[in-house]
Amino acid sequence: MDHNKQQETVHQPVKRKEMTRRQFLSYTLGGAGAFMAGGAILPMIRFAVDPLLQPKQAGSFVKVIEESKVTNEPQQVDFKVHQVDGWYESDPKLQAWISKDSAGKVFALSPVCKHLGCLIGWSGAEAPNLYHCPCHGARYDKNGKNLKVAPKPLDEYQVKVEGGWVYLGPLEPNQHVK
């Protein structure tokens, strides 16, 4: 390489890729806009999914009747439970048939017929000392054992007796029918 050519190469300005003012402004404004939008949207997303992130409440018990009032004869009790389903809260009214079993232990049956879900009743002229369903004639004995029409025994509530009161918890399959 001759001397002149070498000098030309040495003095050639280095080409740098520079950002135009327009590019700089659009990057800066775009970044700031995204940051601000994130600040506004993230709390909304958090709010929307918050109930799903909460740990599920362990089956809670509801005080329903004094233990001294429970006899061998089933009696109907109505009570309310507080339910949280995602962001929807409600206090549905529930019902149970409470009595004492042959060992004197309090137990509570679900009133929902295992055939198609009508509400059962206890005893009367048409079904003495039995639970009966008005819809299609299902019958259950005092322990909730299915005798007719229904395919399964009545469910039971979990029961807790504390301080002279009976508390009912979630439903579970019947424990009294062998």
Segment near ligand FES (CB under 6 A); pick from 65-73, 75-83, 111-119, 162-170: 111-119
Q: In the stretch 129-158, what mask flags binding to ligand FES with x, by CB under 6 A?
A: ----x-xxxx----------x---------
Strands (E), the chain: 62-66, 75-80, 83-85, 88-90, 93-100, 106-109, 121-122, 131-132, 139-140, 146-148, 156-162, 165-172
Cβ atoms within 10 Å of 157's Cβ, excluding its own: 24
Please, what is the minimum distance in Å from the beta carbon of residue 170 to ligand FES?
A: 22
108 contacts ligand FES (rule: CB under 6 A): no
168 within 8 A of 159, measured Cβ to Cβ: yes
Cβ atoms within 10 Å of 152's Cβ, excluding its own: 15
Q: How many chain residues are in contact with ligand FES, going by CB under 6 A?
A: 11
Please, what is the minimum distance in Å from the beta carbon of residue 113 to ligand FES?
A: 3
113 contacts ligand FES (rule: CB under 6 A): yes
Among 25, 29, 48, 116, binds ligand FES (CB under 6 A): 116
CA-closest candidate to residue 132, choices 101, 98, 141: 141
Tokens of 98: 């409470």
Please, what is the minimum distance in Å from the beta carbon of residue 174 to ligand FES?
A: 16
Please, what is the minimum distance in Å from the beta carbon of residue 126 to ligand FES?
A: 13
Residues of the shown chain interacting with ligand FES in the complex, contacts defined by CB under 6 A: 113, 115-118, 133, 135-138, 149
